[in-house]
Every structure is written in structure tokens, then in C-alpha cells.
Amino acid sequence: MSVLETDPEDMIRVIDEDGEVVGDVPDLSEEEFVAMYRYMKLARHFDERAVSLQRQGRMGTYPPLSGQEGAQIGSALALAENDWIVPSYREHGAALVRGVPLKQTLLYWMGHEDGNRMPEGVNVFPVAVPIASQIPHATGAAWARKLQGDDDVFLCYFGDGATSEGDFHEGLNFAGVFDTPTVFFCNNNQWAISVPRERQTASATLAQKADAYGFEGVRVDGMDPLAVYKATTAAVEKARDPDEDQLRPTMIEAVQYRFGAHTTADDPTVYRDEDEVEKWKAKDPIPRLENYLRAEEILNDERVAEIEASVKEEVAGAIDEAESVPRPEPREMFEHAYAELPPELERQYEEFAAVREEYGDDAFLED
């Protein structure tokens, strides 16, 4: 069975592609439903503007998230205030829900070290660009909290490509052995850059990999934000207060699709067929949720227009704030990695400083 023919019956679903109810709807208030929708609209508009900024040379390489709003927002909203998220590099929407300002995310991709500085009281780990390196960190932090007697849950995000890395296996194996309060959230967006999911593993699903580590793996329709919320809520509750006959960790495989490029340095038209992209766009999580909320008379044209206007204003304000911060000094790339620079980096820094002194910062600009 191809990844595009995934049987919906073997996944948790709440609403279908048209917004029709096909499962048990989570018990959310009208305000919570609207907040979920607005976060998704905000994440999508931010994504569109961020890609535009990069194309204009106003920001560095950026990893688009469009198509994954349902998975990110639905999962992050399932957490309690004291819980943590451990992101990879594409969780801008989840980080926003957890209290990371859009300005902070923009600063990170603009090359500011301060983009890694989380606001006080925001339980979000720094962005992890190396594939799967955050998974052992999430397991270790969760184990530490458990040993300290706290009930924090750690939600760790990664892509389907990360399941081919050793860190994935080590992190999940450790979590099973030491029964850590961790939820491993796999964004199966079908492509690890240009490598399709069927070239990652011969396993029928990614969720079943949890069996090897002794805990539960579940599959959810990642384009259905209500299903993601439902699945993540159950996993978080189990991690916090497990039954005697089950382990705390869960692996969630959220089956979804990234509409855009892996990053703005990537050209997906080289390896993806446009018909495939269009087939997945028909499952877009935003109109899907909007159709459901309109049917429930929670949303109407006026309320949608108000949300769209406020989203545009919020993103525009964040861009203005981020661009008002002075550009980082190029020498900052040599700081913070080592207490003392190794000889080779020392040599590179001296070479860099000499070129900068003679030609100025323009010597480092691209033609």
C-alpha cells in the first residue's frame, strides 16, 4: 500500500476531509475551538510571510510548516502548563502555543543567538536542527523530572526521517526501560527532504516501532487537529498517571504532509509529483476544521474575517519588531560552542577577522 493510500480506518480520526464528524469529538469549549482555529490560521500566515522574507533576503534559510498546523497546534494544546515541548526545527506553531513569541522565532532564523533564548517560564527546549538529537534529551529530561518527583510530561517532536537515526532508537529504548513520562510525536510528513517514507523503513507503520521498546504506538490522522488533540491528550494523561499494566511513554505517528519545501534551500519539484501534492492539499487541516466549526455555528463569515485581520496584524507586528533588532555580529558564530576555541577554529577566526578588517562586512555578502 502506498503512503498516499493509507487506510483511514487504522488511524484515529474525528473529522474527515470535509469537516464531517467520523469519531468522538473532544470535549472543548467554544472558546477553545476558536483558539485552535486561530492558532492554525496564525501559523499558516506566519509561514507564508516567513518564506517571503527569506526570498527577499531578509531572513536566512527557513523550514516551512504549511500542512502541519493541525498536528502542531492540536498536540501542543493537549499539554498542561507545566509540561514541556522538545522541538526539532519546524515546530513554530507548537512553540507559539507554548508561549514563544513569533518575534523570537524570526530572530532565530535571522541568525540571532537571542532567538534561542526562551522567555522566562516558557517550557520549550531550544530548536534542534541535527536530526533526532533532541530525542535522547527529551528522554533524559523526563527521567530527571520523574526522579525528582514532579509530574511534568515531555512532548518530543521529530520527523519520519529521524526514525532512521540511532538517537531515535537509543532515546525510545531508554524511555521504555526507565518508564519515562515522554510522548514521542513523529510528524510523518512523507518525505525526509527528498527521501520518501518507504525508503526509511520496511515496517508497515512507524508507530509499530514502539512495540520493540515495550510501550504503545498509535497512528493518528495528522491533518485532523481534533484527532491529534484527542490522541495527544490520552498519551499525556498516561505519561502523567499510568495504569499499573502499562508504561508511561507513547509514540504517536501523525500521518500528514508538508505542502512546501523541506527548507527554502530545497526544491521539492525535483523529487515530488504535483499530483501527489494536490491530493494532500485536499486534506488541508485549516478548511477542514473551519467547515466543522461553521457547521456547529461556532464560526461564521464575520468571525473568520476578524480572525484573519487580527492574524495579519499580529504577524506584521512581529516582523517589525524582529527587523528593528540590530543584525548580529558575524563573529558570534564563533562564540558559545566551546569554553576555549580549538586551534583550527582559532585559525579560522583570525582569518575571518583579518578579511573583515581589510574589506568590511561587505566581504561576507553573497553576490
* Catalytic positions, written as ranges: 258, 262, 271
Residue carrying the nine cell digits 566551546: 338
Secondary structure (H, E, C), 309-344? HHHHHHHHHHHHHHHCCCCCCHHHHHCCCCCCCCHH
Q: How do 154-159 and 182-188 pair as beta strands?
A: parallel
Residue 187, phi then psi, degrees to nearest 5: -80, 90
Give all strands (DSSP E) within the chain, no chain letters.
84-86, 154-159, 182-188, 191-192, 195-196, 216-221, 250-255
Dihedral sign of CA atoms 138, 144, 146, 151 in order:
negative
Q: Give the DSSP letter of residue 15.
A: B
HSE value, Cβ hemisphere, 13 Å, CA-based, for 38: 22
C-alpha cell at 132: 533526532
| Residues 87/125, Cβ–Cβ less than 8 Å | yes
- Give DSSP secondary structure letters for 115-143: GG-PPTT--BPPP--STTTHHHHHHHHHH
Q: How far apart are CA 176 and CA 251, in angstroms?
A: 11
Strand-pairing partners, residue 21, are 15
